[in-house]
């Protein structure tokens, strides 16, 4: 049974105030790198797994996608997505990615931002994704980087000289991690980079790009708080294709 933390009032009231949720994709610093991995949008049939407020669903339509299906477990997230001006080519569906079935050969792009690290049955889900893509179709996604998800007590350590480090323990121990993020007990799944990559290879995907995202100098100049993201990668971005 999946944890539906985004429907918990206290969690949702914190999460919805994140700038990336208030103003959308341009406030997500990793978005330019993820966008660069996307195939051309015109005419594409797109599925967004863990669509949240639907920011990417609307972006895909604005850039020419023919049809977009946004799937999410959270009623509150979907309600916010559906509060945007109606577009008959965007369909939002409540669904649990742990048990989801997708129609075979039904789409050109499966996109997912910061959702797969919540999923325990990832191999099952990605097998569905592979079958749902047409030959030549793309899977583009981001997850929290394994260096970020691994530690049993995540957090910066600052020494006497002000040097920040991110201690990593338990890296080889895959599985659930309980985090305090707005509320205690938020469950995320830690996996090795090699596990993500080997799962994709075993399913038949061809990797097209990997990014261990870090801010550019221009981003740090514009938003100095991003400088600490140079110390360790927070996001792992992947582009893959079904050949
Ligand atoms: C960090 S948010 C990302 C939302 C959106 N993709 C974005 O980048 O703004 C993670 C999303 O995954 C959804 N989610 C988590 N577990 C899920 C599951 N088992 N099935 C479907 N959606 C799930 C949450 O409800 C939430 O909307």
pLDDT in tens, 160-200: 999 999 999 999 999 999 999 999 999 999 999 999 999 99
State residue 193 phi and psi, 5-degree precision: -55, -45
Q: How far is the CA of 199 from the centre of ligand 1 (A)?
A: 21
Strand 67-72, strand 45-49: pairing:
parallel
Contact 7, 75 (CB under 8 A): yes
Distance, in Å, from the CA atom of 110 to the CA atom of 132, rounded to the nearest integer, reads: 9
Q: How confident is the model at residue 102 (pLDDT cuts 50, 70, 90)?
A: very high
Report the b/e string of 131-141 with b at 16+ CB within 10 A.
Answer: ebbeeebbbbb
CA dihedral 207→211→212→215, nearest 10 degrees, is -170
Question: Residue 33 above 90 pLDDT?
Answer: yes
pLDDT value at 105 more than 90: yes
pTM for the predicted model, two decimal places? 0.97
User: Strand runs (DSSP E) across the chain, as ranges?
Assistant: 45-49, 67-72, 90-94, 107-113, 133-144, 157-158, 164-165, 175-181, 183-190, 205-213, 235-242
Phi, psi of 99 (to 5 degrees): -130, 5
Give residue 96 CA to ligand 1 midpoint distance, Å. Answer: 10
Residues with CB under 6 A from ligand 1: 2, 6, 50-52, 55, 72-74, 77, 96-98, 113-115, 118-119
pLDDT of residue 149: 98
Mean predicted confidence (pLDDT) in 42-52: 98
- Average pLDDT, stretch 224-234? 95
Pocket of ligand 1, candidates 29, 115, 126, 181: which has the most ligand atoms within 8 Å of its Cβ, to mutate? Answer: 115
What are the φ/ψ torsions at residue 3 (nearest 5 degrees)? -80, 130
Predicted pLDDT of residue 1: 79
Residue nearest to atom 25 of ligand 1 (CA): 74
Across the chain, mean pLDDT equals: 97
């Amino acid at each position: 049974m999946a944890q539906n933390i985004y429907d918990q009032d206290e969690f949702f009231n914190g999460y919805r105030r994140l700038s990336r949720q208030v103003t959308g994709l341009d406030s997500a610093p990793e978005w330019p790198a993820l966008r660069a991995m996307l195939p051309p949008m015109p005419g594409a049939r797109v599925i967004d797994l863990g669509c949240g407020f639907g920011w990417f669903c609307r972006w895909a339509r604005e850039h020419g996608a023919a049809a977009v299906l946004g799937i999410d477990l959270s009623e509150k997230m979907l309600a916010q997505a559906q509060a945007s001006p109606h577009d008959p080519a965007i369909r939002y569906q409540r669904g649990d990615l742990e048990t989801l079935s997708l129609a075979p050969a039904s789409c050109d792009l499966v996109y997912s931002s910061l959702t797969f690290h919540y999923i325990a049955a990832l191999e099952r889900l990605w097998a569905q994704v592979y079958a749902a893509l047409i030959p030549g179709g793309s899977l583009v996604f981001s997850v929290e980087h394994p260096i970020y998800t691994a530690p049993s007590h995540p957090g910066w350590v600052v020494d006497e000289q002000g040097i920040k480090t991110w201690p990593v323990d338990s890296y080889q121990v895959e599985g659930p991690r309980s985090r305090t993020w707005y509320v205690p007990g938020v469950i995320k799944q830690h996996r090795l980079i090699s596990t993500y990559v080997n799962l994709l290879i075993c399913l038949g995907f061809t990797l097209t790009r990997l990014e261990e995202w870090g801010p550019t100098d221009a981003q740090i100049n514009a938003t100095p708080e991003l400088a600490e993201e140079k110390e360790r990668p927070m996001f792992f971005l992947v582009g893959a294709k079904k050949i």
